[in-house]
Amino acid sequence: MDNSIREEYLNIVATVREHVAEQLEFGILESETSETETQHPYASLDLPALNTDAQSCVKCGLHAGRTTVVFGVGNPNADLMFVGEAPGADEDKQGEPFVGRAGKLLTDIIKAMKLTREDVYIANVLKCRPPGNRNPAPDEVETCSPYLLRQITLIQPKIIVALGSFAAQMLLDTKTGITALRGEFREFALAQQDDNAPVIMPTYHPAYLLRNPNAKRDVWEDMQQVMALLDNK
């Protein structure tokens, strides 16, 4: 290409880019990738498709050590959803959340609420087990949380019980610890201006109750509030 023609071509391209940028800035044009698509990468997926996508996820390093992806289980139209932090060894083997000792305790709590695991939906912030059951890393939560947010959007629960600090902090967008958060309904910080957004009840994780059985009374008081609100919704 002749140098003069090439220079003219590049000038035209630059002019067009500036024009498009101005139109985008003033809202005359919309970007091909909308804000919704950017914030919600799984917005087009239903629950089975979301599960399929999660099963093959390699977006963070946890995939290298997992046995299986622990997506979630229960009623896809549940009014009540329980969210923990991450799968443990038993969950990693079976592919279902809360099936170990802490899971049995959660099942007992659900039964005491006159419900079954089939009535509610149970999931975790992370879908893969962290090595040695260590705490989730911030980048892992950031990478994996869109799966949970899409699950919440699809299931549309009325109440989410956040089990432990990591679930509560993620859903409430806070760094406050669970002891200060529990016992009070709170707004879902990540709701997208949705009048039907669930409320969050933070409470202790069942694994904490295994180590601190005296805290069971606190959790039961929290669940009584949950049952009363479900009856009124």
Q: Is residue 120 pLDDT above 80, yes or no?
A: yes
Quick one: pLDDT band at residue 36, thresholds 50, 70, 90?
Answer: very low
Regarding beta strands 73-74 and 121-124, do their DSSP bridges make them parallel or antiparallel, or are they unpaired? antiparallel
Q: For the residues 115-122, what does the mean pLDDT come to?
A: 98
- Where in the sequence is the domain holding 206, given as residue range(s)? 42-232
Instruction: Give strand ranges (E) for 85-218.
Output: 121-124, 159-163, 186-187, 199-203
Residues of the chain with pLDDT > 70: what percent?
A: 80
Sequence-separated (6 or more) residues with CB below 8 Å from residue 39: 192
Decide if pLDDT at 32 tops 60: no
CATH number of residue 159's parent domain: 3.40.470.10
Three-state SS for 168?
A: helix
Do 7 and 54 sit in the same domain of this protein? no
Amino acid at position 106, single letter: L
- Are 172 and 82 contained in the same domain? yes
User: What DSSP string runs through 192-230?
Assistant: -S-TTPPEEEEE--HHHHHH-GGGHHHHHHHHHHHHHHH
Residue 38 has pLDDT above 50, yes or no: no
Same domain, 137 and 172: yes
Tell me if 9 is assigned to some domain.
yes
Residues 68 and 107 in one domain: yes
Q: Where does the pLDDT of residue 193 fall: very low under 50, low under 70, confident under 90, or very high at 90 and above?
A: low
For position 150, what pLDDT does the model report? Answer: 95
Same domain, 13 and 60: no
pLDDT higher than threshold 70 for residue 31: no
Same-domain status, 26 and 100: no
Number of domains in the chain: 2
| Residues in contact with 138: Cβ distance below 8 Å, sequence separation at least 6, in sequence order | none
Both tokens of 24, joined, read: 């985008």
Report for 40-54, 60-74, 188-202: range of highest mean pLDDT = 60-74
Segment among 14-28, 32-46, 151-165, 178-192 with least mean pLDDT: 14-28
Question: Is 81 strand, coil or helix?
Answer: strand
What is the rounded CA–CA span in Å between residue 98 and residue 106? 7
181 shares a domain with 68: yes
Are 10 and 75 contained in the same domain? no
* pLDDT for 18 beyond 60: no
More confident residue, 17 or 200: 200
**pLDDT tens figures, 73-112:** 999 999 999 999 999 999 999 999 999 999 999 999 999 9
User: 69 lies in a domain?
Assistant: yes
The reply to whether 36 falls in a domain is no
What's the rounded Cα separation, in Å, for the pair 146 and 50? 10
Cβ-proximal residues to 188 (8 Å cutoff; 6+ apart), any chain: 160, 171, 172, 197, 198, 199, 200
More confident residue, 223 or 17: 223
Q: How far, rounded to the nearest angstrom, does the alpha carbon of residue 32 sit from its chain's CA centroid? A: 26
Q: Which two tokens stand for residue 209?
A: 């109750």
Are residues 188 and 115 part of one domain?
Answer: yes
The answer on 209 and 135 residing in a single domain is: yes
Quick one: pLDDT at residue 196?
79
Report the distance separating Cα 117 and Cα 51, nearest Å. 19
Sheet with 80-84, side-by-side order of all strands: 73-74, 121-124, 80-84, 159-163, 199-203, 186-187
**Each residue's pLDDT tens digit, 139-149:** 999 999 999 99
Q: Predicted confidence band at 170 (pLDDT cuts at 50, 70, 90)? A: very high
Helix (H, G, I), strand (E, B) or coil at 1: coil
Residues 154 and 51 both lie in one domain: yes
- Please check whether residues 92 and 155 belong to one and the same domain: yes
